[in-house]
A and B are shown apart, each in its own frame.
Chain A
Amino acid sequence: MTAEFVVRNWNAWAPGISSREDWLKFQVFAEQQKAAIPAAVPKTLQRRLSPLARAVFNAADGCVDNALPIVFSSAHGEVNKSLEMLKSMQKGEEVSPTAFSLSVHNAISGLFSMAYDYHREITVIAPGQDGIAPAFIEALGILQEGRAEQVLIVFYDEPLSDFYPSLPFALNAPAVCALALKISLTGSGLPLQLNRTSAHRDDGEHALQIFSFIEFLVADEQSLVLGNHRHSWEWFKK
């Protein structure tokens, strides 16, 4: 499979990053910086935004446009919220309805559609071990079908609670991170080609691939290959 598209615009958020060059020397800072909540978010919804949701809103705010479909992609979503609920159930406490409503995989996209009064189609992908490629495939499908001229892809993940033994799998994010990427089939921007390759390699799962992809966008490298033992994908700057 080969597909060509153009990155029209992108924006990303992680703690300690203040310029695009910062992504090339990213390191995890001890302080727990939270993303600013965009001015567009109504007051009554602001209290519902988790640190992960704030990162997503912050990254997407600069790229949002009511005319385009959105594909959200996250491996773990708000699973840390689910864990907290399970712990409270174990203690015999009743589960908070608010916590439950905000723990499901499409919770952040739901909040987003309310905050921005968004009426276009929204898809939320849980790619499992398959990394960031499935979201590209979904977005390219929407573009190929002619349902929209541009699609916004929003990748996000946060570090998992220590409760989950993530090793030996490379699936844990080093920090909260969200990347919003506006793509189209033609137009001005960064032209990319996406190819499926036969390489057998392990470049970490979704949470780590977001960082790799942002670095690729910023750096001079011509291509980026991300694989997970089974499939590998190559993004190539044309």
Chain B
Amino acid sequence: MENELKQLIIDTLDLEDIGVADIDSHAPLFNDGLGLDSIDALELGLAIRKKYNVKIDAEKEDVVKIFASVATLADYIQAARG
């Protein structure tokens, strides 16, 4: 799941020079880590909705925690799919 998610991040956000192996599952996705920004978060949310049919509602969920790292994102998607 984590590797699949990493590939989704790379493809969705056009991270041309980065491979699955370059992304640490526990490193921060935004700002310091991969250097992603708020537009990337929206784009990723859309891609996750399309691929996993999981909707992340920014008004109800703690999006900062969910998007913290690949690991937290994978946990959330798995839990949401049941």
Give the distance to chain A from B47, nearest Cβ to Cβ, in Å: 9
Contacts of A44 in B (CB 8 A): 35-37
Interfacial residues of chain B within 55-75, with CB under 8 A of chain A in the complex: none
Q: Is B15 an interface residue (CB 8 A)?
A: yes
CB pair B43 A94 closer than 8 Å: no
Using an 8 Å CB-CB cutoff, how does the interface string of A181-200 with B read, 1 for contact, 0 for none? Answer: 00000000000000000000
Contacts of B42 in A (CB 8 A): 97-98
**In the complex, residue of chain B having the shortest beta-carbon distance to the beta carbon of A42:** B35
CB pair A97 B15 closer than 8 Å: no
* Partner pick for A97 among B14, B35, B36, B43, CB 8 A cutoff: B43
Interfacial residues of chain B within 33-57, with CB under 8 A of chain A in the complex: 35-37, 39-40, 42-43, 46, 49-50
CB pair B13 A47 closer than 8 Å: yes
Give the distance to chain B from A138, nearest Cβ to Cβ, in Å: 29
CB pair A97 B16 closer than 8 Å: no
Residues of A within 8 A of B (CB): 43-44, 47, 94, 96-98, 101
Interface range for B: 10 to 19
Residues of B within 8 A of A (CB): 13-17, 35-37, 39-40, 42-43, 46, 49-50
* Partner pick for A96 among B15, B36, B37, B46, CB 8 A cutoff: B46
Contacts of B40 in A (CB 8 A): 98
CB pair B15 A47 closer than 8 Å: yes
CB pair B13 A97 closer than 8 Å: no
A97 to B15, CA, bound (A): 16
Contacts of B43 in A (CB 8 A): 96-98
**In the complex, residue of chain A having the shortest beta-carbon distance to the beta carbon of B46:** A94
A98 to B16, CA, bound (A): 16
Contacts of A94 in B (CB 8 A): 46, 49-50
Give the distance to chain B from A101, nearest Cβ to Cβ, in Å: 5
17 of the cross-chain contacts (CB-CB < 8 Å) are A43-B17, A43-B35, A44-B36, A44-B37, A47-B13, A47-B14, A47-B15, A47-B16, A94-B49, A94-B50, A96-B46, A97-B43, A97-B46, A98-B13, A98-B39, A98-B40, A98-B43
Contacts of A97 in B (CB 8 A): 39, 42-43, 46
Contacts of A43 in B (CB 8 A): 17, 35
Contacts of B39 in A (CB 8 A): 97-98, 101
**In the complex, residue of chain B having the shortest beta-carbon distance to the beta carbon of A99:** B43
Give the distance to chain A from B19, nearest Cβ to Cβ, in Å: 15
In addition to A94-B50, A98-B39, A101-B39, 14 A-B residue pairs with Cβ atoms within 8 Å of each other are: A43-B17, A43-B35, A44-B35, A44-B36, A44-B37, A47-B13, A47-B14, A94-B46, A94-B49, A96-B43, A96-B46, A97-B39, A98-B13, A98-B42
